[in-house]
Structure 1
Amino acid sequence: MADSIDESKNIEVTDEELENKSKGELIKLAGKLRDRRNELNQMASERASKRDELNAKTREKVDEAQEHRETRDELNEQVQEHKEKRNELNAEANELFDKVEQLKDDAKLDEGKDIEELESEIEDLEFKQQTEVLDTEDERELIEKIEEKREKLQEKKEKLDQNEEIDELEEKAEEVRAEASKHHQKVTELADEAQKHHNEMIEAYREADEIRDEADEMHEKFVEAQEAADQHHEDFVRVQKRLRELDKKEEEEEREQREEKQEAAREEAEEIYQQFKEGETLDTEDLMKLQKTGLL
C-alpha cells in the first residue's frame, strides 16, 4: 500500500508572501510549486492506476464467485431432479414389496414351518422308521406323521408354485430399489460438488471484499495526492498572476520613465532651439538633440 504524502515537502504560499516577495523570489517559488505539483500529479496517476488495477481484480473475483454460484445452482437443480427420481423409485419399490408381503400373506407361506424344515423333519422320521424296531402301533403313528408332513410339504410347494409372481415381484422390487440407490448416490455426489462450489463462491466474495477495501483505500490516497497537486497548481497560478502583475507594473514604470526622459529631452531641445533662434552658436551635441526631437 502506498505511503502517505510527505507533507514536509509541500509548499504553502500566503497572501503576504505574494505581496512582499521580490520578482526573483517569486520566480523561484513558482518553479518549486510547479515541480511539486508535477510530482504530486505523478503520484496521483500511479495511485489511480493501482486503484483501477485493484478494481479490475475485484471484478474478476466477483465474476469468479458468480460462476461458482451458477454452477452451484445448476448442481442443486440436478440434486433436486435425482432426489425426485430417487423418491419415485423408492415409492415404487415400497409398493412392490408391500405387494409381495400381501401375496405371501394370502398364500400363508410364512405360517408354520418352512419347506426346508419340513423336508428335514421328514428325512429324520424316515430314517427312524428304517433304523428302529417299532411295534405296530408306533410304526403306524410314525407313518401317519410322515404322511401328514408330506401333505403339508406338498401343499406348501403347490402354493409356492402357484405364486411364482412373488419371486418376480421381489426381483423387480430389488431392481427398482437398486436404481433408487444409484440416484441417491448421485444426490450425494452432486450435493458434495455443489457444496464445494458454494464454499469457493464464499471465498471468492471474501477475497473480492478484501481487494475492494484495498481499492477504496488506494482511491482515498489518490484523492489525497490529487487534492495536494491541485492546491499546488492553484498556488502556482497565483504566483504566475502576481508575476504578471509585477511585469505589468515594471512596464508601466519603464514607460513612465521613458516619457519623463522624452519630456525632459524635449524641454531641453526647445531651450536649445530658443538659443539658436536668438543667434547663439550650437555645438554638435546640441544639434543632435534638436534632430532627435524633430526641431531641426
Structure 2
Amino acid sequence: MVDESNNIELTDEHLENNSKGQLIKKAGQLRDRRNELNQMASERAGKRDELNAKTREKVDEAQEHREKRDELNEQVQEHKEKRNELNAKANKLFDKVESAKSDMELGEGKDLEELESEIEQLEFKQQTEVLSTEEERELIEKIESKREEYAERKDKLEDTDGLEDLVEEAEEVRSDASQHHQKVTELADKAQEHHNQMIEAYREADDIRDEADEMHESFVEAQEAADRHHEDFVRVQKRLREMDKKEEKQRQSARDKKKEAAKEEAEEIYQKFKEGETLDTEDLMKLQKTGLL
C-alpha cells in the first residue's frame, strides 16, 4: 500500500494564489515524491515479475509431474492388459485340467497314500483280532475292494503325465500374470505420487500467483500516484513559466515606459539646446543615449 500521508497535495487555489517561491518549493516536493513513488513502483514491479517467474516454475513443475503420471498410467494400462490376458489364458488351462481330472474321475476320491494306509489298517485288524467267519469274510472283501480301488486309481494316475505338464504350464502362466499385477500396483502407486505432487505444485502456483496479483495491484497504485504527482509537477512548472512570462512582460513594459520617459526628457533638452541654452555634461549624455546628438 502507498502511505498517502506522504503524498503532496496540489489544488487550483495553490496554483492561483501561491507565490512564485511557494510554487517552486511545491514543485520540488512534487518532484521528490514522484521520484520516490516511481522507485517504489519499480521495486514492486520487480517483485511482481519475480513472483510471476516462480509461478511459471511451479506450473512447469506441475506439468512435469502430469506428464510422468500419464506415462506411468499408460504403463499401468499395458500391464493390466497383459495381466488380464495371462489370467484368461491361465483360467482356460486350469479349466482343461479340471476337465481332464473329471474325465479321469480324479477330481474326487482318496489319494493313493490314504488308500494304502486304509488297506494296511484293515490287514492289521485281520491279523491281530479274533473274528468270526462272517466278520473275517466281510473284512477280506473290504480289503480286496480297497486294493482294487487302489490299483484302479494308480493306473489312472500313471496316465496323467500330460496333465501334470498342463498344470505346470497353467501355474507358470498364473505366476506371470501375478508379476504383471505386481507391476500394476507398483506403477499405480508411483503414478499416484506424481499426481499428488502435481496437485501440490498447482496449489503452490495458485498461491504465488495470488501474491503476484496483489503485488501488481500495489505496483499500479504506486505508479498511478507517481503519475499524479508528475502531472501536478508539470502543472506547477507550467504555472511558473506563465508567471515568468508575466514578470518579463511587466519588466519589458517598465523598460518601455522608462525609455519613453527618457526620450521625452531628451527631446525637451534638445529643444532647449536649439533655443541656445547651455547644456551640462549630464544633459549631453542623455541626448547621446537617445540618439539626438
Q: What is the TM-score with the length of structure 2 in the denominator?
A: 0.94
Report matched runs for 1:156-235 at 5 Å: 156-235=153-232
* 1:35-62 per-position Cα deviation (integer Å, ceiling 9, x unaligned): 0000011111111111111111111111
Partner of 1:81: 78
Once the two structures are overlaid, the 10-residue window that deviates more, 230-239 or 125-134, is 125-134
Supply the distance in 1 between the matched residues of 2:252 and 2:220 (Cα, whole angstroms).
Answer: 47
State percent identity of aligned pairs: 80
Could you say what the CA RMSD is over the residues aligned between the two structures, in angstroms?
Answer: 1.7
The amino acid of 1:236's aligned partner reads F
* 1:155-206 per-position Cα deviation (integer Å, ceiling 9, x unaligned): 2111111121221111111111111111111111111111111111111111
Supply the distance in 1 between the matched residues of 2:103 and 2:5 (Cα, whole angstroms).
Answer: 102
Q: In structure 2, do the counterparts of structure 1 residues 165 and 291 end up closer, same or farther at CA, with 3 Å as the change threshold? A: same
Q: Secondary structure at the match of 1:282?
A: coil
Q: Secondary structure at the match of 1:213?
A: helix
Partner of 1:247: 244
Matched, 1:40 2:37: yes
Supply the distance in 2 between the matched residues of 1:268 and 1:213 (Cα, whole angstroms).
Answer: 82
Partner of 1:289: 286
The amino acid of 2:23's aligned partner reads L
* 1:110-159 per-position Cα deviation (integer Å, ceiling 9, x unaligned): 34332112211222233345555667776666555444332322221111
Supply the distance in 2 between the matched residues of 1:110 and 1:24 (Cα, whole angstroms).
Answer: 118
Partner of 1:52: 49
Once the two structures are overlaid, the 10-residue window that deviates more, 279-288 or 172-181, is 172-181
Report matched runs for 1:7-18 at 5 Å: 7-18=4-15
* Matched residue count: 293
Q: What is the TM-score with the length of structure 1 in the denominator?
A: 0.94
Partner of 2:270: 273
Superposition deviation, residue 23 in structure 1: 0.9
Gaps of 5+ in 2: none
